[in-house]
Each structure stands twice: as C-alpha cells, then as structure tokens.
Amino acid sequence: MADSHGHDVFHHIRDAVHLELPGFLGGHTPDFPKIDLGFTTLQLTKFMLLQVVAGFLVLFIFWGLARHIRNGSPARGRFWNFWEMLALFIRDEVARPAIGTGHHHEPHHPDHGERNEGIDLGSLEKSGDIEHHSAEHVHHHEPTETHPADRYLPYIWSCFFFVLFCNLLGAIPWLGSATGHISVTGALAITTLAVVVISGIRELGVVGYWKSLVPGMDVPGLAKVTLVPMVWVIEFVGLIIKHGVLAVRLFANIMAGHTVLAVILGFIGMVAAPNVAEAYPWLFYVVTPASIFGQVAIGLLELFVAFLQAYIFAFLSALFIGAAVHPH
C-alpha cells in the first residue's frame, strides 16, 4: 500500500483525483476528468466533489426548514426539529450576542419576529380567546428583522452548516473531510475576511472603517503622528493574522483527528506483518481489540469535534463581524 502511494502514509486523508473504495471493489474509482477552461485546465478532485455534496445538503436543510415554517407554524418531526434547534441556537447564542446591535438602537421585540414562539395556541383555544387572533396572525405571520445582527445570519448559518457537513462527511468510510485541507479552510477564511471588511465599510464608511482599526489615543500631536501609522499597520496585520488563524485552527483540528484515527488503525497492520506475527503471534489478539475500541472512542470524539469546530468557526466569524460594525 505504501509503495502504490509513494510511501505517503497520509494518502487516505489527503485530497485525491479519485474516490477510495473497498478493496473488493477495486480500491478506487477511475480518476476524475480534467476540465479545459481555455486559459488553464481544472482538475476535479475528491474534496471538490465533497464540497458540492455539502453545499447541496445545506440547501436541502434550508429549503426544508423554510418549507415547514413558511405558514408560521413550527417545524414538525424530530429530524426537522433538530436542524431548527441548531439554526435557532446559532441565531440566539452566537450571531446576536457576538455581533451586537452596532450603531442601531431599535428595541428588540422577540415576539414580533420569531414565528409565534410566544403564542400558545392550545391555551388560546382552551380559554376561548382564539377568535381575537386573526388567522393571518396565527397562520401567516410574516417574520420581520427584529435584531440588527439578523442581516448577517445568512452568512453565519451558511458557514456553520457548510463546515458541519464537510466535517461529518469525513466520518463516512472511504470519503474524507474537505475541511482537512488548508486550501478549503483558507478560502472560507478569506470569504469571512471579505464579509468583515464589507460589513465594516457599510456600517462606518470606507474611511471610517479603516480609521477604526486604530483605537483612540490621548497622546501629544507629534507622538500621535508617529504612533497612529505604526498602530494602524499592526492592527491591519493583526486583522489578516486573525483570519489566517481561523483557517489553520479548523484545518489542524480536522486533519489531526483523521490522522489519529489512521494511526490507531495502522497498529493492526503493523502487528499483522509477517515478521511481527511470527515473533509475537499473541500480539495481534491484544492490539486488534484495543485498536478497534480506540477507533470507536476517537470516532465518537470526532463527531463531537465536527459540531464543535463548525460552532467555533461560526462564532469567530460573528465575533469578527461584530468587531467591524461597532469597533469601539
């Protein structure tokens, strides 16, 4: 196996131009085709395909939730309740607290925009007061934006669910996590950086946003002329570094998890090697159960990490947006 992959022990967790398959199915699919764009050639890869799958899964969840709640009624069924719970958690516990209200000062009225969450229809029917609530209010309530941070929710939700599905696809045998590649997480971080800068410019203006990178300093005029450019450069570099760390954090955690799984599973192959099996035949029966138990334990931990890293990416993205729209 090592010879066929150029002694690359990480080939199962790297990107590839084919999909891995069980040995009895041939080992892997034929290589994906190349697309000639005229000025260059684009090679399709496994991680590209998995990102498309993750994108369609995000669309499926968004479309399904919208279809279930479009009449103002809550989502029905455990499956849709689970995804609605995640969406509401990201909205109420991540986006709104992290982004804040910015320069807006409108009061927040949660009962006006949260799909009748404050209305108990069963209690209304029992008390005989249901006729005082129009059918339009109960069944066709139009959600309105009640919190300034909600304008950024589509992006925060998209980040969370896309990263989550990319992570979860890696738990399926013979697939992989696209977020375990630095180019994927780097593209996500660059997208967040663009949203942060655009949001800050939209809120404060072009000059106002870039000026806001420098905190207010009560220093004499000559010293201020010297310090402000230096601090601005430091803060600008820090802005880039923060988003670079955002990419590296996600990549490193996903890559490390799959590497640990590969190493633990590799112990079985090591003790099954002819030279080891002949010298220590009992070792296989000790290492194999321990490796399988380790695989299950680390696999469950990886499921937790998949949700945790999606949450962290969405939370930090919201935090960076919040810092841009109201820096002080």
- Under 8 Å between Cβ of 125 and 133: no
DSSP codes, 283-308: HHHHHHHHHHHHHHHHHHHHHHHHHH
The secondary structure of residue 28, as a DSSP letter, is B
Distances (CA, A) of 167 to 8, 39, 189, 215, 245: 23, 33, 16, 38, 18
Torsional class of 102: left (φ above 0), alpha (ψ -120 to 50), beta (otherwise): left
Tokens of 195: 């949203």
Tokens of 234: 């430091």
* Per-residue pLDDT tens over the stretch 138-156: 344 444 457 888 889 999 9
Tell the residue number behind the tokens 């066709």, with chain if given. Answer: 140
At residue 128, φ and ψ (nearest 5 deg) are 80, 10
Q: Which of 91-100, 108-117, 262-271 has maximum average pLDDT?
A: 91-100
* Per-residue pLDDT tens over the stretch 30-88: 878 888 787 888 888 888 999 999 999 999 999 988 888 888 777 788 898 999 999 99
Q: Is the overall model pTM greater than 0.75, yes or no?
A: yes
* Per-residue pLDDT tens over the stretch 246-291: 999 999 988 888 788 777 877 777 777 777 767 777 777 788 888 8
**How many Cβ atoms sit within 10 Å of the Cβ of residue 173?**
8
